[in-house]
Amino acid sequence: MILDSFHLSGKTAIVTGASTGLGEGMAEALAQAGADIVGVARSSCDGARKKVEAAGRKFLEINADLVSLEPIERIVEGTKKEFGKIDILVNNAGIIRREDAINFTEKDWDDVLNVNLKTLFFLSQRVAKEFVAQGNGGKIVNIASMLSYQGGIRVPSYTSAKSGVMGLTRLLANEWAKYGINVNGIAPGYMATNNTKALREDAQRNAEILGRIPAGRWGTPEDLGGAVVFLCSRAADYVQGYTLAVDGGWLAR
């Protein structure tokens, strides 16, 4: 039956940036669909752990700073040691730095590109090697942004990274479809998390953004649940290289 193809029972999912916000929300949704979760983050994932365990699934936390490639081997080996295999990777960890392009520093460029694009690529590469060795395919979901489609303002490294994420999602899908690996993206709209705290606290920007969202509200982590479960499930086996916007209509405007 159709709903069975959305089930993730027996699957193991790595979710980066699971300590808060969208990552925590997606970890909960994947667990409710039946997956055990490996949460990767710089800070404690206690919130995600509680939600995953409340859904009756197991949770492994791996503390890692994804600004460098050092943690990649630990993440893969730690997951295999605990769960024996990997089925799903959600590349969600991301940072943003806001400054006028004219004053933007090299550090704010490098940090954002490293976390949001470089590590996303090399972690995907490492996990894809595991998928190939396991011989059962796998699912990779990359978290993109409205700034994969649009230019934005005062976020030059973020726009560059997120535009890169959408392009890379297509490339990886092209190369890895033959192994039964699906690589897709989710482009969240304006979601109420730490990442957008500064925008929501700026009364003028908050009103401008809300006025442009057809749904008339900021998104929530729960809003991504259906999209991530779908893209990580058998129901999406023939969906490849596509970035699905979950944006309250922002891009349609």
Chain positions contacting ligand NAD, by CB under 6 A: 17-23, 41-43, 64-67, 92-95, 115, 143, 145, 188, 190-191, 193-196
Output the smallest distance, CB 65 to ligand NAD, in A: 5
Residue closer to ligand NAD, measured from CB, 4 or 208: 208
Smaller CB separation from ligand NAD, 196 or 243? 196
Nearer to ligand NAD, 47 or 137 (CB): 47
Rounded CA separation 67/196 (Å) = 20
- C-alpha span between 27 and 139 (Å, rounded): 15
The rounded distance, in Å, linking the Cα atoms of 214 and 243 is 20
- Which one, of 250, 196, 249, 230, lies nearest residue 90 by Cα? 230
CB of 144 to ligand NAD, least distance (A): 7
- Which residue in the list 149, 158, 179, 238 is annotated as catalytic? 158
How far are the Cα atoms of 28, 104, 116, 154, 229 from residue 110, in angstroms, in the given order?
31, 11, 10, 16, 32
Q: Cα 189 vs. chain centroid, distance in angstroms? A: 13
Q: Which stretch of DSSP H or E encloses residue 15?
A: strand 12-16
Q: Whose Cβ is closer to ligand NAD: residue 148's or residue 180's?
A: 148
Active site residue 242: no
Q: Which DSSP letter does residue 234 get?
A: G
Question: Could you list the active site residues?
Answer: 158
